[in-house]
Every structure is written in C-alpha cells, then in structure tokens.
Structure 1
C-alpha cells in the first residue's frame, strides 16, 4: 500500500468526525434562536453553517493544542492507527449521544479518544498539558457560563424593567440573529480547528508535514470548515429539542443572554488555545439565564442527565478508542 493511502484514510475519517461534529453541535448555536422563534430552523442552520465556515480560520491556537499538545504519536503506521482509533472512538460517542438527544462534547470525545488510543499503544500522553488546557477549562467554562449567564440576564432584566414586553421581545428576536451568529462563529473557531489539529497530527506522523512547523496548511482549514458547515446545515434536531425546550422554556431576551454569554466564553478560550466544549458553554449559560426566573424554572433532572453525559464522555470515547486500537493492531499486525 502506498504511503499516502493510510494518511488519506485517516484524513477522510477525520472529516467524517467533523461532519458528525457539525450536526451534533448545530444545536449549540441555534437551538435558543429557533425555540424563541427568532429564526426559522433552516435559516438558522444556514446562518450557523456560514458562521462556522469563517470561524474555522481563527482557531489555529486550538488546532496546535490538539495536533501536538495532547499525545506523542509515533511516526508511521502506529501513529496513524492511534489517530484512526481516536477518531472512531469520538465518532461512536457522538452518534450515541446524538441518538439519545444528549448535548455532550464532541471536543472532549476527540481528546478522550486520543488519550485512550495512546494508552492502548503505550505511547506518551501529556497529562500536565491535558490537565491545564483541557480539564481545568472543562471545569471552569460551565461555572463561568452559569455565573455570567445569570449576571447578564439580571442586567438585562434591570435595564429593560420598564420596557413594553411585546416590543422588548421583538427587539431581542432581531438581536438573536447577531448573538446566534456570534455563537456559531465561536463554534467554528473551536471545533473545526480541533479536526484540523488531528489532520495535521496524521500528516506529521505520516511524513507529509514538518513536525517543527506549527502552521496549519490552508487546505486543511478549508476542508475542515466546509465539512463542519455541511454537517451543521444537516442539523441535529434531537439535541436541538433538548437545549431549546427541555432545560427551560426560553424567551428572546433569555436566548440572547445565553448566546452572548456562551460566545464570550468561547472567544476567551480560543484566544488562549484552550479546546473547550461549545456544548458546555451554551448549556451552562442557558441554566444560568433560566435561574434568574427561579431555581425551579430550570429542569434540573434534564440538566443532571446532560452533566452525566459530560462526565462519561472522556472515559466513554477513550475506551472505544482503546478497544479500536487493539483490534486494528491485531488486523494490521503492528
């Protein structure tokens, strides 16, 4: 088999993951806008796809973290097998949580997959970097989203306390077009960049990219952006219902507050190169915003199921990736 064929297969697998990421996380950007009727579903998906496309070109720091900061992948067949197993683990977890309508993190599924495959291959996992750039932001971003969402919504309630409810809602429906686009742009910066990072890792271990070159090839960014946008336009209706309706019944001001909060969290994380979950950001922001109405307004039973999916994402995707690596090892005869 020619040396480029295994690399091409891993790149194709990465794009498959990217597509599932797009339809799995489409709800992150638009569920609140659709549920408040600020946008129709297809218009919202089209807008999110375009914003994802442009956002992908601004996430190179995140791509570098995924591509070289999580594991040490050996050159050659072993490294490519690790990449393939990690992607299969992440895709499996995405499809499983999508089927049950749980907004889990595609990002953490990918990172968990990389870690699980690396452990199975007895290669190095940079645990300090994982703790600093993945675990800490994973804990901090939902807490920040919860608190900031509560504060933003509280501020909006005070500012518009004398406003006419009908006019206020109508104004925030228009404003949600901007906040939803900002959220989708942040999703592109984070999630399309993560796939680009795995592609660069595969190119590096396959001998098609210089290990010392920290740049991301333009074609990799373009491919990642186009595929995640196509996946976003396909829509993730099961998860959209969970985020848009089951946690809390949102009105336009609440939707605007949640989207604005989540987008801000994503932008700050991207600037530092931290690969956080867009799912965590928007879900926690919705919970924070909903809490301003009353604690009982948030359906905490649904929230508990979502958090459970978050907790199991790392080990779940990691175990699937590890088993996949061992099976591929037997098949290939590494």
Structure 2
C-alpha cells in the first residue's frame, strides 16, 4: 500500500462508503421476499445476507476487471479526482432512491457517475462505448426480462407440483427453500456488487501508479470491499425491503422461492461472464414474474412503473451529478474540498429527511399504499400477513376477500 497519496486515500474511503450504501440499498434483493413471507425474522435475515455477501466477495474478480479496465479507459488520463467525482454522484443517487423506497440500481449509479465524470474531465476517448453497450446497457434491458420469465415459469411449476398436497406442510417446505435460495442470492450479490467497488479502488490505484495496469484487485481491496458491503447489508435497507416485499405483489412462499432461485441463477451466470448487471433489476423482475406466475396473483403496476422510471433515470442522473462534481474537482484542492463538503451536506439532509417517518425491522412488513381505494389490490392489502408456519389465504380465499371488502382502505403509506 506504499505511495498512496492523500487524494487516492480519499477516493478509497469514498469508494467504501459507496460500497456501504450499495449493501443497505440492495439488501432487499436477497431478503425482501424471505422477510415478507415470514420465512426468517428481519434481523436474522439481514445478518445471514451480510455474512454471505462477504463470502461472495472472495469468489471471483471478473466483474471487478470489467470496472477497472473495461468501461473506463485507464490509459486515457483518468485522474483520482475523476473517480472521486463519479463516486459522489453514485452515492447521492443511491441515497435519494433509498429515501424514496425505490429499488434502483446501485450498479448503474456507479457506471453513470464514472461515465459522467470521465466525459467532462477527459472526453469521449475515456469511455469504451462498446463495453458500455455490451456489458451494461444490453444486460440492463435483458436481465430483468429473462429473470421475470424464468420466475414466472418457476412459479407456475411450483404450484403445479404442489397441487393437492397439504397446504401447511407445503408452505413450510417452501419457506425452508426460501432460506436456501435467499442465501444463494446473497452469495451471488457478493460475487457481483462487491466487485464493482473492488474495480473502482483498483482503477484509482492504477491511475496513481500504485499497481500495474490490468492488475487484479489486491487482497486488501477484496477484503475491505467485502466488509463494507457486508456492514451495509447488515444494517438493512428497510425502505426498499418494504417496497420489494409488499409493494410489487403479495408474495406467498412458493412465489418467493421461485423468484429468488431465478434471480440467483441469473446473477451467478452474469458474474461468471463478467457482466456487471444490476442485481436490483434482476430481483425486481423476478418478483414481478412471480406475481404474474401465480393464478390470481396481482402485480401493482403503479409501483412497477415508478421502479422502471427510476431505472431509466439512474445512469443520466448520476452522470449529471458526477459531471458537476468533476467540473468543480478539476479546479484543484479547493474544488475537491468543496465537492466533499457539498456531498456531506446532501447526504446529511437525506438522512434527516428519512428520520421523519422511519422504517426499520419493526414495521418493515406493514403494507405500502400504492393503489387508490376500492381496487382489488387495496382490499387484499388490508389482510394481515400470515404468521410464520402458516399459509397465506388461498387463491379462492383471496378472491372472496376482495369481493367482500370492496371499500377497504389502503394501508398507511411507507415513509
């Protein structure tokens, strides 16, 4: 770690802060359905996810190489302050979407931030456009669709296979399966998302001449990135967990198992290929697919549309924030200081706003109001979630509940 300058040190710390926000922002990817169906208690779920995120960080470096030497041209004059500006944009967007409870992509926030800062400071020659298209944009469109179709098919298959069997025993079995599949998603998340921070830190070390170009991340980089994302995961992004667990569809154990299994398979395959896709988009697509796959299931399209809008805005929004930060950071030491002070002020304001209506492990399973009163989904959401070990209302019971409570009011909106 010799020859690390103060600026590179600041970049490394900022990258680990982003990794931390990535952890609590994306906890919902692995654990939202497990928590919403009662398969695991919330605190136990996030603790398990944190440990497996840490383990997953050590399993591969292919995605890290995509970041450090694939999307950004490390030989085009990239300086540490450019990376710092990119990270600031990613962190700010992550926190804004967390405050809104929207499961947007931490990965695309990072890509947008790095691309925006590079375009301002270096120009178009600093970005590998082909790599952006092949390894970011195409997977961004394809991954949630593929995961959704796989989850929908898996959901239909699980209900077909369990037809005519004892419902309580079947539910217990699927809850056990959910725990296993959630563990697999957490492991996959570590192999994909933790590596993105490894790649950024390695890129900073390359630009500072600390390690050779195209080098693998050093062991201390892998360990620190794994620990940062694990800590963020343990603290839990409860706002986004509520949205994914309750806001998209009413999830029963077979659906949760199918959604998580499909998402894990998609993420692990992409990590092996070096595709830095968004685990958030994959898991969200899987949850929507599970809603479509169950007979009588309902997808709350108003929430889904909000999510898709956030996905579309993530790259350009993070890029614009980072571009402004890069313009300021290019002015010298005072500009870098100004960027740091502004970023701290914005993050502090977002945290203060979140305290007005806090969401934590005690109220994460309260339903989110996203539909107008009088529609079927609002009536369904007034039904309390089943306790662990019991089944949710059967499909016929759901229809009866909807018919008998057409004027039910929606639950209190999430904070």
Output the TM-score relative to the length of structure 2. 0.78
Structural mapping, 1:139-288, within 5 Å: 139-213=141-215, 215-288=216-289
Matched with 1:297 is 298
- Deviation at 1:163? 1.4
Unaligned stretches of 5+ in structure 2?
336-415
- The answer to whether the 8 Å contact 2:74/2:213 transfers is no
Greater Rg over alpha carbons, structure = 2
Q: What does residue 311 of structure 2 align with? A: 310
Q: In the alignment, which residue of structure 1 is the partner of 2:79? A: 79
CA displacement, residues 7-45 of structure 1 (integer Å, 9 cap, x when unaligned): 111000000000000011111110100000000001000
In structure 2, how many angstroms separate the alpha carbons of the residues matched to 1:295 and 1:201? 49
Using CA pairs under 8 Å that are at least 6 residues apart, name the structure with larger relative contact order, 1 or 2. 1
Gaps of 5+ in 1: none
Q: Contact conserved, 1:34 with 1:44, CA < 8 A, in 2?
A: yes
Whether contact under 8 Å (2:89, 2:322) holds in the other structure is yes
Of stretches 29-38 and 286-295 in structure 1, the one that deviates more from structure 2 is 286-295
Structure 1 position 51, deviation (Å) = 0.6
Q: What is the correspondence of 1:25-64 to structure 2 with a 5 Å cutoff?
A: 25-64=26-65
Q: Matched residues in 1 for 2:214 and 2:30: separation?
A: 35
How big is the shift at 1:59? 3.1
How far apart are the structure 2 equivalents of 1:57 and 1:320? 31
SS at match of 1:87: helix
Give the RMSD, CA atoms, in angstroms.
1.5
SS at match of 1:330: coil
Q: 1: distance between equivalents of 2:173 and 2:24?
A: 29
State whether residues 145 and 285 of structure 1, in contact with CA within 8 Å, keep that contact through their aligned partners in structure 2: yes
CA distance in 2, matches of 1:34, 1:99: 20
Report the alpha carbon displacement of residue 329 of structure 1 after superposing the two structures with TM: 1.2
* Aligned 8 A contact 2:248 2:303 in 1: yes
Contact 2:249 2:299 in 1 (8 A): yes
Mapped to 2, the partners of 1:171 and 1:179 lie a distance apart of 12
Counterparts of 1:294 and 1:319, CA distance in 2: 43
SS at match of 1:72: coil
Higher helix share: 1
Task: Give 1:114 shift.
Answer: 0.8
SS in 1 for 2:157: helix
TM-score scaled by structure 1?
A: 0.96
